[in-house]
Amino acid sequence: MPLRRNPLLPNGQPTGWRPLAPIPAGGTLLAGLMVSALLAIPPVGAAPQDPTAKVLYRLSTQCALQGAAPVPCSVEAVDSGGATLYRHRIGNSVETVRITSDPVTMAMWAHDTRSWRPLRGASARFSTNTVCFNGKDLCVVNPNYLNSVREDRANTRLQGRDLVMVHFGADGRVDASCYDDACALLLK
């Protein structure tokens, strides 16, 4: 294997430094792979990653946290077998929502307890392609998700609806839902 000098170290040998050691030509490739692997490790407290999960789509969009103004974010939808994970990357933070279909449940990854916490509620406004979780804790413009909801439920109560809200019980399952003007009545 050919040898070369490490170009990151200075040519002069300051006192206390050992002489430049030759490194294998492939050494920088190995170092690059190690750095990539370290950067791929999810941040402490992040939702667990399933190595068999399949990315369904990635979307650059707008998200808002805690009712703040929307900011650029990315959404990655991942099929992890029994659930779909929606990872919302907003600046340096990642908010993950898990949705199961049988039975329908929704939960958000709680960084503080490092566990899934059932959602209290979710809403979708089709006219703006906006989905919000737990009131305005997390809101995202996600036309991909809402279009799939409309397609999956083409012959149901969603026809002609703009606003759909659901409330979840302690187990994360839907225990109440409303549509359009009826949601305003229920919120009073």
58: closest CA among 37, 74, 47, 40?
74
Spatial contact of 160 and 174, defined as CB atoms under 8 Å apart: no
Q: Backbone dihedral region of 100: left (phi > 0), alpha (psi from -120 to 50 degrees) or beta?
A: beta
Please tell me the distance from the alpha carbon of residue 32 to that of residue 40, in angstroms, as a whole number: 12
Q: What is the pLDDT of residues 150-166, one digit of tens each?
A: 777 666 777 788 899 99
Q: Is the pLDDT of residue 86 over 70?
A: yes
The answer to whether the peptide bond before residue 103 is cis (omega within 30 degrees of 0) is yes
Please provide the average confidence, as pLDDT, over all residues in the chain.
75
Q: What is the pLDDT of residue 183?
A: 86
Confidence band, pLDDT 50/70/90 cuts, at residue 33: very low
Q: What is the pTM of this model?
A: 0.67
Closest CA relative to residue 18, chosen from 9, 27, 8: 9
Q: What stretch of H or E contains 36?
A: helix 27-40
